[in-house]
Amino acid sequence: MHNSPLKVAPNHPALRRVRTVSRLLDNAIPIPGTRFRLGLDPVLGLLPGAGDFVGAALSVYIVIEAVRFGLPRKTLVQMVTNLVLDSVGGSVPILGDVFDATWKANSRNLALLEAHVATPEPAKAADRRFVIFIVLALLLLLIGIGVVATLLISWVVRTLAG
């Protein structure tokens, strides 16, 4: 890992990809007659279990890029907290989709990343052990969502099959 934050240009290809993923997940669809925008994250959440997993996996990408850009621990913890809140809150049937539509964790994480790119903190990047911890925590989150999705889908199938 880096000992100091990576200098990233505002038009860096990875940063452009993060912006695209964030926009698609949180703000892709304008709601006519309002200033509100909806993303694919709450739409994916309508698919029981699997949609939450796909949304979380795409959201993890943003955090992984932040790690690659050498963000400090404090910022990475904020990003993971946003992601966990989004994943847990978004997994509640129906209310979770409303939460996903309003919380917009990916937009929050993009804002944290862009703030760092605009004015890199003098603090050094997170150390290798912390980065490994973050990656493992994100993997456990995805595995947990996958297990819950599998259990939910098997329960629905058993219920419908009688």
Residues 34-84: tens digit of each pLDDT: 999 999 998 888 887 778 888 889 999 999 999 998 899 999 999 999 999
- Half-sphere exposure at residue 27, Cβ-oriented, CA atoms within 13 angstroms: 15
Whole-number pLDDT of residue 115:
92
Contacts 24+ apart (CB under 8 A), 59-63: 59/25, 59/83, 59/86, 59/87, 59/105, 59/106, 59/109, 60/138, 60/141, 60/142, 61/18, 61/21, 62/18, 62/21, 62/22, 62/106, 62/109, 62/110, 62/113, 63/109, 63/134, 63/138
Model confidence at 2, pLDDT cuts 50, 70, 90, reads very low
pLDDT for 3 beyond 50: no
Biggest distance spanned by C-alpha atoms of the chain: 61
pLDDT for 4 beyond 60: no
Q: Tell me which of 100 and 9 has the higher pLDDT.
A: 100
Contact 66, 76 (CB under 8 A): yes
Placement of tokens 């200033």 in the chain? 35
Q: Please state the rounded mean pLDDT for residues 85-94.
A: 82
Q: Please state the rounded mean pLDDT for residues 120-147.
A: 84
Q: Tell me which of 119 and 158 has the higher pLDDT.
A: 158
CA-to-CA distance for 96 and 105, rounded, in angstroms? 13
DSSP letter for 47, please: S
Contact 132, 67 (CB under 8 A): no
Percent of the chain surpassing pLDDT 90: 42
Q: Please state the rounded mean pLDDT for residues 138-154.
A: 85
Most confident of 22-26, 42-46, 87-91: 22-26
DSSP letter for 12, please: -
DSSP letter for 2, please: -
Element (H, E) at 134: helix 128-161
Whole-number pLDDT of residue 38:
92
